[in-house]
A and B are shown apart, each in its own frame.
Chain A
Amino acid sequence: MSVRAFNALLWGATALVLCFLVLPIVAVFLRVPPGQLVDQLSSEVVRDALSVTLKTNLIALALVLGLGTPAAYLLATRSFPGRALAITLVELPLVLPPAVAGIGLLAAFGRAGLLGDELDVLGIRIGFTQTAVVFAVAFVAGPFYIRPAIAAFEAVDTTLLGASRTLGAGPARTFARVALPLASGGLSAGAALCFARGLGEFGATIMFAGSLQGVTQTLSLAIYQEFDLNFDTALAISALLILVSGVLLLSVKLVAGWRSTSASLIPFARSS
Chain B
Amino acid sequence: MALDVSLSHPLRAFELELELAVEPGVLALVGPSGAGKTSVLRAIAGLLRPERGRVSLGEDVWLDTASGVDIPPEQRRVGLVFQEYALFPHMTVRQNVAYGGRARVDELLARFRIESLADARPAGISGGERQRVALARALARDPVVLLLDEPLSALDAHTRSHVRAELRELLLELALPTLVVTHDFEDAAALADRVGVLVDGRLLQEGAASELVAAPENAFVAGFTGANVLRGTATAVAGDLTEVALDAGFTAYSTDPGEGRVALAVYPWEISIARRAPDDSAVNHVRAPIASIVALGNRARVRVGPVTAEVTARSVERLELREGDVVVASFKATGARLLPVA
Interface residues of A (CB under 8 A from B): 157, 159-160, 162-170, 177-178, 181-182, 260
Contact = CB atoms under 8 A, between A and B. Distances in A.
Contacts of A157: 86
B90 interface: yes
Contacts of A178: 88
How many interface residues does chain B have, given as a range? 20 to 34
A169 B146 CA distance: 17
B45 A182 contact: no
Nearest to A177: B99
Given A165-B46, A165-B72, A170-B72, 12 more contacts: A159-B82, A159-B86, A162-B45, A163-B80, A163-B86, A166-B78, A166-B79, A166-B80, A167-B141, A168-B101, A168-B141, A177-B99
Contact of A160 (B45, B79, B88): B88
B47 A167 contact: no
Interface of B: 42, 45-47, 72-74, 76, 78-80, 82, 84, 86, 88-90, 99-101, 137-138, 140-141
Contacts of A182: 89-90
Contacts of A260: 89
Contacts of A168: 74, 100-101, 141
A165 B137 contact: no
A26 B182 CA distance: 64
Which of A165, A166, A177, A182 is most buried by chain B, counting CB atoms within 10 A of its CB? A166
Contact of A169 (B76, B84, B99): B99
B90 to A, nearest CB: 5
A177 B98 CA distance: 12
A163 B42 CA distance: 10
A157 B100 CA distance: 18
B87 to A, nearest CB: 8
Contacts of B80: 163, 166
Per CB-CB distance, the 10 closest pairs between chain A and chain B, nearest first, are A165-B73, A163-B86, A166-B80, A167-B100, A159-B86, A162-B47, A181-B90, A166-B45, A168-B74, A166-B73
A245 B100 CA distance: 43
Contacts of A181: 90
A165 B89 contact: no
B144 to A, nearest CB: 13
A167 B47 CA distance: 12
A153 to B, nearest CB: 15
B300 to A, nearest CB: 40
Given A159-B82, A159-B84, A167 B90 contact: no
A167 B89 contact: no
Which of A165, A170, A181 is most buried by chain B, counting CB atoms within 10 A of its CB? A165
A166 B140 CA distance: 11
Contacts of B47: 162, 165-166
Which of B46, B88, B101 is most buried by chain A, counting CB atoms within 10 A of its CB? B88
A170 to B, nearest CB: 5
8 contacts: A159-B82, A160-B86, A163-B82, A163-B88, A165-B46, A167-B100, A178-B88, A182-B89
B88 A166 contact: no
Nearest to B47: A162
Nearest to B85: A163
Contact of A167 (B42, B46, B72, B137): B137
